[in-house]
Structure 1
Amino acid sequence: MNVDDKTIIPKKIVEGLKLLHLKSLYNFTESAFDDIMKVFTTNNVSLYKVKKYLKEETGLVPIFYDMCENSCICYTGQYESYQNCPVCESTRLDARGKAKKVMPFLSIIDRLKVQYKDETRAKELLYRYEYNINKNDNDLDDIFDGKIYKELINDNLFSDQRDVAFTASCDG
């Protein structure tokens, strides 16, 4: 989200957004979030209020999917009706009948729409195109200098300046 001269974000929301970032990095609970906010700020802000603010500003609403507690699978698609993980055999639900672990999902298409609505971010998304038209040597300076990307260009992909290139990285 771009903050320009016309956008004024209340201090309490900024603090909440910073803490929400830490929550996502370190996966602490909603009650831990609220307790930290109570200790370190006098502003009346909660995780609920921060999420509500983000929803109002972006229009993005996550869909939550149950996951294996060891992150082996997500209980969707072919695994949707499973009650135990087929990889590690852990149970899906705890003693209260709630999922042991959940994963929030935000549509990539919806996320790109939000980014392209912001003029500054839309210009930043032209980086790939700008990089390629301004490149005048054979040095390896960016992912767009790589062999696979160049093969995709030769296959006539990324012909529009607004095309977006995604990469995937898998651990393990």
Structure 2
Amino acid sequence: ANTCRKFQATFSNLKLPSLKTVHHKMHDLCGIEPVLYDCCKNSCMCFAGPYTTLTSCLYCHTNRFKPNGQPSNQFHYISLTSQIEALYAGK
């Protein structure tokens, strides 16, 4: 995200799409939709499986959510099966 902002600032004279728009277009083109998992802000743990109901990290004790209710950090997971299917879809 930071690199995208720097790129947009450097080329401010161009009408570049937002990072969100680029992500959506990539998903449309490749047909893969990642599964989003909330994870610790410091990447200590993922709030999945038996940890889905936790609201803070077991290790560093940071909050899972920002004050506005959005996750502090998310992990984009693409299954190996989906990756292999996408790899061979164009052949």
Please classify the TM superposition score into its range, dividing by the shorter chain length: 0.7 to 0.9
Tell me: higher relative CO, structure 1 or 2? Use CA pairs within 8 A at least 6 residues apart: 2
Displacement after TM superposition at 1:45 (Å): 2.1
**2:51 equivalent to 1:79:** yes
Give 1:4-83 correspondences, 5 Å limit. Answer: 23=1, 28=2, 33-34=4-5, 36-37=7-8, 39-40=10-11, 42-83=14-55
In the alignment, what sits opposite 1:95? Answer: 67
How much has 1:77 moved relative to structure 2? 0.2
Residue 49 and residue 84 in structure 1: after superposition, are their counterparts in 2 closer, same or farther (change >3 A)?
closer
The size of the alignment, in residue pairs, is 90
Partner of 1:108: 80
| Change in 2 beyond 3 A, CA 1:100/1:57 | same
Once residues 49 and 92 of structure 1 are traced to their aligned partners in structure 2, the CA distance between those partners, rounded to angstroms, is: 26
User: Which TM-score applies when normalising by structure 1?
Assistant: 0.46
Q: CA deviation at 1:102?
A: 1.0
Unpaired segments of 5 or more residues in structure 2? none
CA shift, 1:75, in A, is 0.3
* Structure with the larger helix share: 1
- Consecutive unaligned residues of structure 1, counting only runs of 5 or more, are 1-22, 120-172
The structure whose Rg is larger is 1
Write the distance in 1 (CA, Å) between the matches of 2:36 and 2:75. Answer: 5
- The alignment-based identity, stated in percent, is 23
RMSD over equivalenced CA pairs, Å: 2.1
Q: Secondary structure at the match of 2:75?
A: strand
TM-score by length of structure 2 reads 0.80
